[in-house]
Structure 1
Amino acid sequence: AVSTDDAAKCVERCRLACGGHGYMLSSNLPLTYGLVTAACTYEGENTVMLLQTARYLVKAWQQAAAGNSLPPTVSY
């Protein structure tokens, strides 16, 4: 969710920085922009995914504070 949102913002920034050339098909930026923003769409609603991730991390932090063992994905 975070990486696709950042990628979409980066491609849009590049496209705007190129001015009119950023909208030309020969720059390949319109195609890249379409692919990146499509990834944001089929990945799902970013807000929901970010909230779910935050909730999971808070629960993992509470487990760590209680002295319980953590799952391998967050134990680092």
Structure 2
Amino acid sequence: MSSFVLFHHSVEQQKTKSKDKRVKPEKVVQILSDHGEDITLEEAEILLNFLYELAPVALRQHLCTGGKPAATNHGNK
């Protein structure tokens, strides 16, 4: 079994285990408020959903590149 398949399986298992470990929207509102950013609970939920979707992608990219930043081309030659 490839490491990607094992990783994906592990992520899927963690999704079911970590539901109760998720950061609560109320906590996000509090943290951001402490730093001068005011958001609603609905905005906090949207932000958390986005971050929980982004995290496995970022982790997978990090693991696939050996921890090195992905090569980017910003128009520089």
| TM-score of the aligned structures, taking structure 2 as reference length | 0.34
| Higher helix content, 1 or 2 | 1
- Point out the structure with max Rg over C-alpha: 1
The structure showing larger relative contact order (alpha-carbon pairs under 8 Å, at least 6 residues apart) is 1
| TM-score of the aligned structures, taking structure 1 as reference length | 0.35
